[in-house]
Amino acid sequence: MSLQDEDDLLPPPDVPSPPLLDVALGLAYAVGGAGLIVASGAFPAMVPGTIVGPGLMPMLCGAIFLIFGAVLSLTAFQRYRRDGNVTEGEVERGSLPFAIVLMGGLVAVVWLADYLGFVVVSFLYSLAVTLAGGARWIYAAILALSVTMLTYVLFSNLMRVPLPRGSLLAGLPF
């Protein structure tokens, strides 16, 4: 079997990634790696005269980040100089408004859960995400309410997970 034949046995390669994104990620890895090496140097060694101790594993990770992050950045930069930043294929990029609702909603849930309680925040969050996906509001509201209540009963009543009850709505049964 030739080397070319061996290649045929493998899945087709994925779409190429944008070189500048690789450059940025490689740099982030390299900088993070350098930081990790410095930070892990502060841990004491367990075997005197060696680096064996709590800092060894983070230091190894840092070294790998530094070396291979730099290699990734450099090779991606070479690719950018040769081909430009136009090689992104059919990647599912998603939608910015939907992503904002999804991630913004998550942050809002963390902030508001202690005040409004699990039932209210998860209903609102689910409703917002469903509507952001283009659903009809009446069906979205029915789905959000029913899944929220089902999850609440399942986790809070049956599995005894202490889901936040919310200080503002303390008088309500959920």
Partner 1 sequence: MDTMMQALALVLNFETIVTILIACLFGLFVGAIPGLTATMATALLVPFTFYMDPIPAIATVIACTAMAITAGDIPSALLRIPGTPSSAAYTDEAYAMTKKGQGAQALGISIVASCIGGIVGFLVLAFIAPMLAKVALRFSSFEYFWLAILGLSCAALISSGGPIKGLLALFLGLAISTIGMDPLTGAPRFSFGSVELMGGLSFVPAMIGLFAIGELLRYQPGQENLVSNAKIRNPFSGVGKILRQYRVNLWRGSLFGTAVGALPGAGGDLGAWISYAMAKRFSRTPQKFGTGHPEGLVEAGASNNSALSSAWIPAMVFGIPGDAVTAIAVGILFMKGLNPGPQLFTQNPENFYAVMLIFLIANLLLIPFGWLAVRTANSIFRVSRAYLNGAIVIFCLVGAYAVNNSMFGVLVMGGFGLMAYVFHRANFPIAPVILGIVMGPLLEQNFLTSMIIARGDLTAFFSRPIAAGLGAVVILLWGLPLVLRLLRLLRPKAAA
Q: Kindly tell me which of 94 and 173 has the beta carbon lying closer to partner 1.
A: 94
Contact between 148 and partner 1 by CB under 8 A: the answer reads: yes
How far apart are CB 51 and partner 1 at their closest, in Å?
Answer: 8
Enumerate residues 108-147 that contact partner 1 by CB under 8 A: 109-110, 113-114, 118, 122, 125-127, 129-130, 132-135, 139-140, 143-144, 147
Select from 38, 83, 85, 106 the one that contacts partner 1 (CB under 8 A).
106
Query: Residue 86 burial by CB count (10 A; 0-12/13-18/19+): exposed, middle or buried?
Result: exposed
Q: Kindly tell me which of 9 and 170 has the beta carbon lying closer to partner 1.
A: 9
Contact between 74 and partner 1 by CB under 8 A: the answer reads: no
- Intra-chain end-to-end CA distance of the chain, in Å: 66
Q: Kindly tell me which of 71 and 172 has the beta carbon lying closer to partner 1.
A: 71
| Residue 2: how many other CB atoms lie within 10 Å | 7
Contact between 90 and partner 1 by CB under 8 A: the answer reads: no
Q: Which two tokens stand for residue 75?
A: 């090779």
CB 23 within 8 Å of CB 77: yes
Number of residues located near partner 1, criterion CB under 8 A: 80
Q: Cα 65 from chain centroid?
A: 19
Q: Rounded CA gap, 68 and 25, in Å? A: 11
